[in-house]
């Protein structure tokens, strides 16, 4: 139902993904996958910034809007602006018939059922899945990634429900950890690469649900200022799922441990257990899909 031709996709020189909050964090995963599989530059923007800053858009730009509700005013305004400037617009939403679907050239649906919990894990995970499927679809049309790699990624997507079940088996460990930190005033989240995206979403959720102040940092950026805030007893939660970045992230965690931080690591890698206070393991999957599993704990 998405009539985007090879000719059209080849003519695009930029994709914008525009959204707010959690949906924007899902968009960050979209950037990773689309750039990797399709080799088209992708910029992710916050709708409330995008709409007021005269973005460079023309008919060679594809603008993708992610909105669970399909009713977020800034996202809809950004869509209208993109259309006026000649871009094709594609909405990713959960709500059939929502305002955004009436404005967008094309709409695709997460079909995740009504969103009830603030944690919104279902909205986030289904948005990340759908934007990955979209990237695979574009890559198939473009022939930009070997089909064997795309087939493997599709299999990994089909295996996600079982792996989420597995991730949920850590619920007792997670509860115990929560009991230890629920009175904290500040919590830091660290990650590199795709794990930084998960850190951003995790930090948003901690703030919204627990009213605990938290910050997410790209682990390598910590030393450029925020490390000053890491003092004795502070809780630092790190996410490590990209095997190419394990050592780099561990060395950043060592820096915070040296300053007295208490550390939790959420990972799908085999890490030396004695280095960290708590480790919560999530199942392994393709790195592009890892936020879907890592966000569950
Ligand atoms: C976080 C949350 C918000 C929404 C944001 C966008 O739990 O719910 O950050 O993600 O307000 O909402 P939608 O996706 O409906 O446009």
- Report CA torsion sign: 277, 218, 197, 214: positive
Q: What is the mean pLDDT of the chain?
A: 96
> Which of 19, 22, 128 best tests ligand 1's pocket when mutated (most atoms within 8 Å of CB)?
22
What's the pTM?
A: 0.96
Residue 88: beta bridge partners?
62
Predicted local confidence at residue 28, as pLDDT: 98
| Cα 293 to Cα 125: distance, rounded to the nearest angstrom | 8
pLDDT interval class at 275 (50, 70, 90)? confident
Q: Is residue 273 over pLDDT 90?
A: no
Q: Which ligand 1 atom sits closest to the C-alpha of 69?
A: 15
pLDDT digits (tens, 9 = 90+) for 155-196: 999 999 999 999 999 999 999 999 999 999 999 999 999 999
For 20, residues 6+ apart whose C-beta sits below 8 A from its C-beta are 46, 47, 48, 67, 72, 74, 75
pLDDT of 205 strictly over 90: yes
Q: What is the dihedral of CA 126, 210, 227, 289, to 10 degrees?
A: -10
Residue whose CA is closest, atom 3 of ligand 1?
21
**pLDDT of res. 274:** 73
Task: Give yes or no for residue 249 having a pLDDT over 80.
Answer: yes
Residues contacting ligand 1 via CB (< 6 Å)? 20-23, 67-69, 72, 75, 118, 120, 208
Residue 211 reports pLDDT greater than 90: yes
Atom nearest to 75 CA in ligand 1: 16
Task: Determine the pLDDT at residue 91.
Answer: 98
| Helices and strands, number each (H, E), in the chain | 12, 10
Which atom belonging to ligand 1 lies closest to the Cα atom of 119? Answer: 7
pLDDT tens-digit readout, 56-115: 999 999 999 999 999 999 999 999 999 999 999 999 999 999 999 999 999 999 999 988
Nearest to 104 by CA among 51, 63, 52: 63
Q: Which of 21, 114, 126 to mutate to test the pocket of ligand 1 (most atoms within 8 A of CB)?
A: 21
Measured by CA distance, the residue closest to atom 10 of ligand 1 is 22
Position 277 confidence tier, pLDDT thresholds 50, 70, 90: confident
The percentage of the chain sitting over the pLDDT mark of 70, rounded to a whole number, equals 100
Ligand 1 closest atom vs CA 93: 14
Residue of 68, 77, 126 to mutate, ligand 1, most atoms within 8 A of C-beta: 68
């Amino acid at each position: 139902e998405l009539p985007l031709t090879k000719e059209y996709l080849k003519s695009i020189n930029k994709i914008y993904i525009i959204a707010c909050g959690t949906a924007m964090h899902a968009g960050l995963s979209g950037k990773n996958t689309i750039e990797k599989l399709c080799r088209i530059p992708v910029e992710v923007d916050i709708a409330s910034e995008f709409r007021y800053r005269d973005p460079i858009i023309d008919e060679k730009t594809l603008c993708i809007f992610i909105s669970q509700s399909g009713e977020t005013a800034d996202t809809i305004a950004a869509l209208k602006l993109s259309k006026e400037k000649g871009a094709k617009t594609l909405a990713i939403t959960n709500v059939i018939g929502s305002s955004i679907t009436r404005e967008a050239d094309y709409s695709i649906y997460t079909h995740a059922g009504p969103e009830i919990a603030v944690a919104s894990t279902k909205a986030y995970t289904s948005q990340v899945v759908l934007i990955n499927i979209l990237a695979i679809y574009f890559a198939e049309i473009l022939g930009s990634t070997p089909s064997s790699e795309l087939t493997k990624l599709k299999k990994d997507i089909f295996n996600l429900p079982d792996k989420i079940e597995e991730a949920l088996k850590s619920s007792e460990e997670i509860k115990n950890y929560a009991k230890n930190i629920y009175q904290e005033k500040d919590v830091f989240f660290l990650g590199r690469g795709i794990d930084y995206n998960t850190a951003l979403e995790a930090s948003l959720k901690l703030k919204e649900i627990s009213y605990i102040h938290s910050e997410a940092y790209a682990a390598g950026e910590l030393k450029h200022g925020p490390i000053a805030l890491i003092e004795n007893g502070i809780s630092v939660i790190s996410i490590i799922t990209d095997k190419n970045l394990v050592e780099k992230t561990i060395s950043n965690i060592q820096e915070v441990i040296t300053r007295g931080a208490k550390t939790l690591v959420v990972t799908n890698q085999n890490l030396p257990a004695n280095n960290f206070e708590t480790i919560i393991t999530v199942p392994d999957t393709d790195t592009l899909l890892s936020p879907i599993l890592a966000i569950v704990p």
